[in-house]
A and B are shown apart, each in its own frame.
Chain A
């Protein structure tokens, strides 16, 4: 029973990871300017990698490797949004105009 729950949770987490990575990729390809792309790349990618790593941690079970996976999850949650912040801020400082619907 508990084993079946674990496998189900792993499948759901991996499905979530694939979904958010797909959304992130679509957003980077389809969205119009650097701000929206940085937004989708970081937000959806953090969740995509986060769900995938959570599934990996569950699949490993109680092992020393799981600690490393959780640490990796922690660092992705810290660094990925910061990277997006840095990209968007650098774009704003160097004068990139945000995309507007009525202009182009």
Chain B
């Protein structure tokens, strides 16, 4: 039995997740947006936002969640976060300063909104994408022969796609 098969529907968990999810997402965004001038920040907020997807997966099944949230979205979130961080950092270098020298950015309150941009567009996106991606990778399961020498691994008929135990029979 693979990890994807073990889902059983539970009315209690689904109802609780339905009630709690909007609050958790709001709370995660709240922490993220407070990064510059109050307790909170991109790491904590991004982790909470990532956990929203984990909760949905626990309540409604991992495979439906994986299909709903395409792998490209998760990868794009992480890559886009890195790009945003680099773009904000390099923008001040293009304007003749050091890396991440916010004062040179041509915006209102540059040092404050510069940090906010790094926190929200950069770090929160990277952290939430990494949490979601690692969860899906872990949920795909691994077998002991994944670490065996490569010539033994061929016999065990193993593909690189995530486990889709339930959906294969239905389609």
**A interface, CB within 8 angstroms of B:** 75, 78-79, 82, 85-86, 89-90, 93-94
In the complex the two chains form, is B6's CB within 8 Å of A93's CB? Answer: yes
Return the contact of B13 from the options A75, A86, A93, A94 (Cβ within 8 A): A86
The CA-CA distance from A90 to B6 in the complex, in Å, is 8
Is the beta-carbon distance between B20 and A89 smaller than 8 angstroms?
A: no
Residues A75 and B8 in contact, CB atoms below 8 Å apart: no
Contact residues in B for A78 (Cβ distance below 8 Å):
16, 19-20
Cβ of B10 within 8 Å of any chain A Cβ, yes or no, is yes
| Min distance, Cβ B42 to any Cβ of chain A, angstroms | 22
B23 to chain A, nearest CB (A): 7
Q: List residues of chain B with CB under 8 Å of any chain A CB.
A: 6, 8, 10, 12-13, 16, 19-20, 23, 58
Known contacts being A75-B20, A75-B23, is A85 close to B13, with CB within 8 Å? yes
Chain A residues within an 8 Å CB radius of B23: 75
A79 cross-chain contacts in B, Cβ below 8 A? 16, 20
Q: For B20, list chain A residues within 8 Å (CB).
A: 75, 78-79
State A103–B140 Cα separation when bound (angstroms).
Answer: 36
CA distance A79 to B131 in the complex (A): 21
Nearest A residue to B12 via CB reads: A85
Interchain CB contact under 8 A, A82 and B6: no
Known: A75-B20, A75-B23. A82 touches B12 (CB 8 A): yes
CB neighbours (8 Å) of A93 from chain B are 6, 8
CA distance A89 to B16 in the complex (A): 15
User: Chain A CB within 10 Å — which of B8, B12, B13, B16 has the most?
Assistant: B16
Contact B10 A94 (CB under 8 A): no
**B8 partner, pick from A82, A85, A89, beta carbons under 8 A:** A89
A11 to chain B, nearest CB (A): 29
Measured between alpha carbons, how far is A18 from B125 in the docked complex, in Å? 39
Question: Could you tell me the distance between the alpha carbons of A90 and B23 in the complex, rounded to whole angstroms?
Answer: 25
Residues of B within 8 A of A89 (CB): 8, 10, 13
Instruction: Check if B6 sits within 8 Å of A85, measured CB to CB.
Output: no
Q: Could you say which residues of chain B place their CB within 8 Å of the CB of A75?
A: 20, 23
For residue A90, which residues in chain B have a CB less than 8 angstroms away from its CB? 6
